[in-house]
Every structure is written in C-alpha cells, then in structure tokens.
A = this chain, B = another copy of it.
Amino acid sequence: MPGPIQSLSRAAAIMRLLAGGERRLGLSEVATALDLAKGTAHGILRTLQQEGFVEQDPESGKYQLGAELLRLGQSYLDVHELRARALVWADDLARAAGETVYLGVLHQQGVLIVHHVFRPDDTRQVLEVGSMQPLHSTALGKVLVAYDPVARGELGDGPYESYTVRTLTEAVDVDAECALIRERGWADAVEETWDGVASIGALIQDRRRNPVGAVCISGPVERVCEDGFVKPSLVASVRSAARAISRDLGAGRF
C-alpha cells in the first residue's frame, strides 16, 4: 500500500496550520485553507481533540494545538540518543566558553534545536528547545549543509532569505563556504542571522561516521570575535566538544 493515508496527512496538515498561525483558527478557516469540506475538517478536528492533540476554546469555538503534543515532544527528547549523550558535554562547553550552547539536528528545511544550555552568567534567557533555525545563515545549519547531502538537498538553490547585510543569499556562496567548512572542519556565522550575534559550530557523527547533528556556541560579536575573526580558542573548544560527543556515540577515535 504505497501511498500515505489520506486522513492522516490531512490531520498533520491541520496541526501544522494551527502551529503556524499565531492565533486560534476557526473551523471554516481551517477548511478553506486546506480546501476541505467543512464536515471533513470537523471530523478530523474532533478526533484530534479527543486524542488531546488539539483543544477547542469553549467560548469562541476556535481551535488550537493541544497539550498532548507537548507531552509527546518531551518523550521524543527522552529517547533522543544524541541529546542524552551530549548533555554533559554541552554543559562543559558552555562553562568553558562562557557562552550559550545549542545542539541541533536537521529537520525539514531547518535546524531543530534539541538542547540549549544557557550562558553561565545568569541574565534572563528564553529556552529555545523545539524552535527552528535557518540552514543557510547559522553555524549549526551550515555545518549540516556542508556534511549532510540531505541537508544540502533541503536547502535548495536559493536565493535564500536575507536577515542581515551579511546573510549569504546565493547558493554558490553557500556552497563555497561549505567547501571551506569541510576543509577546516568547523563553521562560523558572524551576524548572518542576527545583528551582533556570532556563533561557531562543529559536526557530530554517529558510529558509522554519518552526520547526525551539530553543536555550536553563540554569543555577542564582541566576545566571540577578535580582530574580525572568531577566537581560535573558542573554535578549539567547540571542536573538541563535537569530537567528544561523537566518540560517545561510538564514532571511534580521531
């Protein structure tokens, strides 16, 4: 039976739609957005609601995502082997570098953050686990594009969205940068997504040397860079953390 189950694909589309829009959506909005009959959309929504994937505001009748998704998302993290192995190394890296640490994996056309260690100083910070970052303008993303053909495929041929004046928006530029990344073994992104923010990332491999994710540190340009380049000492810290995690996953010695 090759071919997806129609009702399931539609349910997934509805949930993605609800995740996208900031506010709650009404039945009719959902139905027209996905070009479904109202009755059909209602049946799917009712089932999703029953299962806890969707909730309905009792007074307005509008729908939003449900709590079960949060619970299952947490379960995903619990089973995630890469994340489990990386926890302690990410902690050490954050302490050694004095900066925020992110751990990301390829998901669709972006990098999904699966772990986030706050910068050791205790300024207010928001947990970003579960959020996505672009592939073409972040250290995490470029590492994955450089080493994972699937990620390069997802990236497409551009032009890519521009976030700052330093964002690479053309495929040729990104590919050239990726060649450099492969050559030296690490990636950086200085003010390519957010002004004032620089990051340094390196690849994580599994036991068969397949790329499975990336780790990076991220912080203000003033602290991460020196004379216009990222500090070599930070690069070394990130690379050694990436190696340690890969070794933990069984990738063997380097």
Residues on A facing B (Cβ under 8 Å): 1, 4-5, 7-9, 11-12, 15-16, 18-20, 22-24, 39, 42-44, 46-48, 50-53, 64-79, 91, 105, 107-108, 112, 114, 122, 124, 127, 129-132
* SS of A interface (majority): helix
Name the contact of A70 in the complex, choosing from B24, B77, B124 (C-beta under 8 A): B77
Contact between A47 and B5, CB atoms less than 8 A apart: yes
Chain B residues in 8 Å Cβ range of A127: 127, 129
Closest B residue, CB atoms, query A8: B47
Tell whether, in the assembled complex, residue A43 and residue B107 are in contact, meaning their CB atoms are under 8 Å apart.
no
CB atoms of A76 and B66 under 8 A apart:
yes
18 A-B pairs besides A1-B39, A4-B51, A73-B130 with CB distance below 8 A are A5-B44, A5-B47, A8-B11, A8-B47, A19-B71, A22-B78, A24-B79, A64-B76, A65-B75, A65-B79, A66-B76, A70-B112, A71-B73, A71-B130, A71-B132, A73-B74, A74-B130, A77-B130
A69 adjacent to B72 (CB under 8 Å): yes
Pair B76/A4 contact, Cβ less than 8 Å? no
Contact for A5 among B4, B43, B66, B105, CB less than 8 A: B43
Give the shortest distance, in Å, between A132 (CB) and chain B (any CB).
Answer: 7
Q: How many copies does the complex hold?
A: 2
Q: Which residue of B lies closest to A54 (CB)?
A: B76
Residue pair B67, A69 in contact (C-beta under 8 Å): no
The answer to whether A52 and B108 have CB atoms under 8 Å apart is yes
